Amino acid sequence: MTPRIPLRIARSPVLTSRFPLAENPQASPSSEQPLVAHLLELRDRVLRMVLVVLAIFLVLFPFANDLYIMVSEPLRSALPEGSTMISTKPIDPFLIPFKLSLQMAVFLAIPFILHQFWAFVAPGLYKHEKRLVIPLLVSSTLLFYLGVAFAYFIVFPLVFAFLTSTAPEGIEMATDMGSYLDFVITLFFAFGIAFEVPIATIILVWMGVTTPESLRSKRPYIIVGAFVVGMFLTPPDIISQTLLALPMWVLFEIGVFFSANFVRKREDDSEDAGVEPAMATATAGSSSATPAPEPPMGSEIDPAIDYVDPDRFVPLSDDEMEAQLDAIEDEEDEDDGPSVEERFRQVQISRDVGDVEQARELLYEILEEGNADQRRVARNILAQLDTP
């Protein structure tokens, strides 16, 4: 048997434009280029975040001492007369305001940071996901800032007044400025994250992890859990623990309320979407002249041959299916030329004997007369013939 001879023959521009060859996987040396492009985009966005934080820090640093005085005001106002804060390390008077300025820069840059993350993942989301994510990002940012403000204006005065009043007689309270900053930053994050409870609730319902009814049935456990979280995230006093647990409970109820409305709206949209195909099927008989819709862009479907409107599709019975198959067989028998399957067999015989040109002519005929699957197979065979 004569071995197969791989030949590269110039193809007609008309045939090339009508029947493009399948891409050779070995001919694309940059198969990882999309991943590299995503990593480069992520790097650029992270650099923008760092530059924005640095710019805000440079603006705040000249006012670092004023910022620390403002942050320490709740404790200094609660200290007994004559008491003050102290620094136990020589570098703390410079380092602690510097650290506070950097942390404040990150706090203020949170909207920009979230926007950069959103811009990075947005191209991969559906439209309905984008419509939901944007309000969640905005509301989560506002709730975080609301939690920080709640801690500073309401929690701190009550907590520090309670702590200073419980000091034993003869003990002067002199808090280190570094310890105080670590304490208030921890509370800022604790209250900021605790105020994200409605967002977490809506996301869990949206992902199908739970339902509003299930959350309502677990309300007693949620209340106990809120007090447990408040016990771990706040100082060991009942005031700060309660001031964190109660807002978490209220915000949980708000999240359940909005998630229930979200689920109700999604069900209404699903019902509306389900009515349209049913109406289209019911009116299919009276609108037989309606043209078939166009297939999606980039599809290999031929609208004149291959496309079937799914809304107007009616399954055939067994008898109708047999009649259709018999009619197709009769048409193939009456046809003067060979069938597509016969041409595929002739292509294989031509390749075995080394007649590549004859195989190409048969494949071009299949591309003109075959269905979508047969044309796809023909293009793959042509690609093999063109591969050296």
**Segment 336-374, tens digit of pLDDT:** 567 778 888 888 888 888 788 888 888 888 888 778 778
Q: Give 275's Cβ-side CA count (13 Å radius).
A: 6
The span from the CA of 4 to the CA of 356, in Å, is 8
Collapse the DSSP code of 304 into the 3-class scheme (helix H, G, I; strand E, B; otherwise coil) and give the result: coil
Across the strands, what pairs with 242?
A: none
pLDDT band at 32 (very low <50, low <70, confident <90, very high): very low
The span from the CA of 388 to the CA of 382, in Å, is 12
Check residue 23 and give its pLDDT: 43
Token reading at 56: 């805000």
DSSP state of 299: -
pLDDT band at 4 (very low <50, low <70, confident <90, very high): very low
SS3 of 81-103: CCCCCECCCCCHHHHHHHHHHHH
In tens, the pLDDT along 149-200 reads 999 998 888 888 888 888 787 777 888 999 999 989 988 988 898 898 888 8
The span from the CA of 179 to the CA of 85, in Å, is 10
Token reading at 174: 């002199």
pTM of the complete model beyond 0.85: no
What residue type is 207 in one-letter code?
M
CB 171 within 8 A of CB 83: no
